[in-house]
């Protein structure tokens, strides 16, 4: 395997292993009371009134839920099928499944045309 494929494979394997427990890492006062509030306050004013939002590597569903609750459609794009499955369960629990599409894919292999989305968010560590 070449280096990039090896890296992709290990990312997929890692998230496969941790998917069910991954949310717990963010269930701390630092995230709940500080990071999440600051992040939401920072980008929420930029959300369009309507349209399609793209959550890149967004299978934590942390942002897909409040954005869908505002009435915007969301495409949740993530490399990990297992992370997407966990997100799907949580989104169904909130009865937001009509607002969210789940798409498995690598951030390095984007197949959407320019201007397809009204808002794009790649928050957290996916870009780095
Ligand atoms: C810490 S979370 C990112 C935070 C996320 N933006 C959120 O919803 O809050 C890491 C996520 O990035 C995904 N991911 C990592 N590398 C990726 C890649 N190359 N393409 C797409 N998703 C990726 C993982 O599967 C995992 O669900």
% of the chain beyond a pLDDT of 90: 79
Could you give the CA distance from residue 123 to residue 128 in angstroms, rounded to a whole number?
A: 10
Best residue for ligand 1 mutational test, from 21, 76, 79 (most atoms within 8 Å of Cβ) = 79
pLDDT for residue 110: 85
**What domains appear along the chain, each with residue ranges and CATH number?**
3-121 (3.40.50.150)
pLDDT of 115 higher than 70: yes
**Rg of the chain in Å (alpha carbons):** 15
Rounded to an integer, the average pLDDT of 82-106 is: 96
> Which protein residue has the closest C-alpha to ligand 1 atom 15?
126
Pairing type for strands 100-104 and 52-56 reads unpaired
Q: How far is CA 15 from CA 56, 66, 115, 124, 125, in A?
A: 15, 23, 30, 15, 13
**Lowest-pLDDT range, 32-41, 48-57, 118-127?**
118-127
Q: Which of 85, 27, 95, 31 is nearest to 65 (CA)?
A: 95
Give residue-wise pLDDT tens across range 28-41.
999 999 999 999 99
pLDDT tier at 128, thresholds 50, 70, 90? low
CA of 51 from ligand 1 middle (Å) equals 22
Give the helix/strand (H/E) hosting 12: helix 3-18
Mean pLDDT over each residue of the chain, to the nearest integer = 93
> Which protein residue has the closest C-alpha to ligand 1 atom 4?
124
Ligand 1 atom closest to 83 (CA): 27
Q: How far is CA 71 from CA 2, 3, 50, 53, in A?
A: 42, 41, 7, 11
């Amino acid at each position: 395997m070449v280096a990039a494929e090896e890296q992709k494979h290990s990312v997929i394997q890692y998230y496969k292993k941790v998917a069910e427990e991954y949310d717990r890492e963010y269930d701390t006062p630092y995230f709940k009371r500080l990071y999440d509030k600051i992040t939401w306050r920072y980008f929420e004013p930029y959300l369009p009134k309507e349209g399609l939002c793209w959550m890149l590597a967004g299978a934590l569903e942390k942002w897909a839920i409040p954005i869908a609750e505002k009435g915007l459609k969301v495409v949740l794009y993530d490399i990990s099928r297992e992370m997407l499955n966990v997100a799907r369960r949580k989104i169904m629990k909130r009865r937001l499944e009509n607002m969210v599409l789940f798409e498995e894919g690598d951030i390095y292999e984007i197949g959407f045309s320019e201007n397809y989305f009204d808002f794009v968010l790649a928050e957290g560590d996916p870009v780095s």
